[in-house]
Amino acid sequence: MTQQSSTPAPNSPVTVIGLGPMGLALAETLMKNGHPTTVWNRTPGKARNLVAGGARLAASVADAVAASPLTVVCLKDYATLYEVFGSAAGAAAAGRALVNLNSGTPKEAHAAASWAAARGVAYLDGAIMVPPPLVGEPGAAFLYSGPREVFAAHRDTLARLGDPRHLGSDPGLAVLHNAALLGLMYATMNGFLHAAALVGSAGVPAAEFAELAVNRFLPTVVDATLVAQAPDLDAGHYPGGLGTMEMNLNALEHIALTCEEQGVHAGQPLLMRDIAAQAIRDGHGASNYLAVFEVFKKEAAPGAR
């Protein structure tokens, strides 16, 4: 496989393929930072404002990847990547670097890395952990995985887009972290939305509840606890001195009952209750609530999906 180990000159040319809301934000940020930018999209009209601002619209994907040492791809999924690149573009990309920022699974990322290697393309898989308006802003998290030398060669350019974090040489790590962090986001959002619905059943405004829940409760009871106790997850150490799984199951049962009394959807607390009950069946009744980590680490029973 051809690898790029030398660092490109400052403000080196960059190509962006895929001009949805995120792709547009990537291209605009690169242009704002002085990078000569070539763009391509299956619907050329989406590049109109970029071209007016100085970007070059490539006639084809092959033309686009040939224009720059680095191509940033922001498409729907891996299948679209293969469809868009085809044989001609794949050949044109030989000896160049490709950073793929679509979403998918670790297995798909490994397959894409092999696809790139077979074509002599230096490949990084990546994930964007901010919405389009925050691209280029301080602290915007961009995750990358794949050969460290490829990341190092293009780190300065990638840093224009946001804070670049290289997670390791395994190409599947970026999309794995993406799935984990988005799962955390959805679980957190659902937790807040469910809690707001529960107190809302008594006429409490969501805005009033948010001040207590988000500004007061979560930072001190949840955030600080998780950071302090995360090493216990790695050690499998769940001391129950301040509260056992049995006690937490009792609380979860009361939450579910309260939802039923108030006429609020009880599916989420019932699921949490069932997970705690499984932890107790697995022998963690005297452990603290973090022992549900051991339940999550196990594959779901057949037919549970």
Tokens 């037919």 locate to 303
Starting at the earlier edge strand, list the strands of the sheet with 14-17: 56-57, 37-40, 14-17, 70-73, 97-100, 122-128, 141-145, 163-166
Classify each residue of 6-25 as buried b or exposed e, where b means 16 or more C-beta atoms within 10 Å of its C-beta.
eebeeebbbbbbbbeebbbb
Q: Is domain 14-170 in CATH 3.40.50.720, yes or no?
A: yes
| CATH code 3.40.50.720 region(s) in the chain | 14-170
Tokens 């887009």 locate to 161
Please state, in angstroms and rounded to a whole number, the distance separating the CA atoms of residues 154 and 201. 53
| CATH code 1.10.1040.10 region(s) in the chain | 176-296
pLDDT for res 2: 45
Structure-derived torsion over alpha carbons of residues 9, 64, 88, 23, reported in degrees to the nearest 10 = 100
- More confidently predicted of 142 and 225: 142
What single string gives the DSSP state of each residue in 145-167? ES-HHHHHHHHHHHHTTSEEEE-
Classify each residue of 122-135 as buried b or exposed e, where b means 16 or more C-beta atoms within 10 Å of its C-beta.
bbbbbbbbbebeeb
Q: What is the mean pLDDT of the chain?
A: 92
pLDDT score of 116 more than 90: yes
- The CB density around residue 136, as the number of other CB atoms within 10 Å, is 19
Q: Which residues are CB-neighbours of 295 under 8 A, at least 6 positions away?
A: 275, 278, 279, 282
In the beta sheet, which residues pair with residue 122?
A: 97
Question: Which token pair is 52?
Answer: 């007016």
pTM: 0.86
- For 176-296, CATH gives 1.10.1040.10
Condensed to tens digits (0 to 9), the pLDDT of residues 154-202 reads 999 999 999 999 999 999 999 999 999 999 999 999 999 999 999 999 9
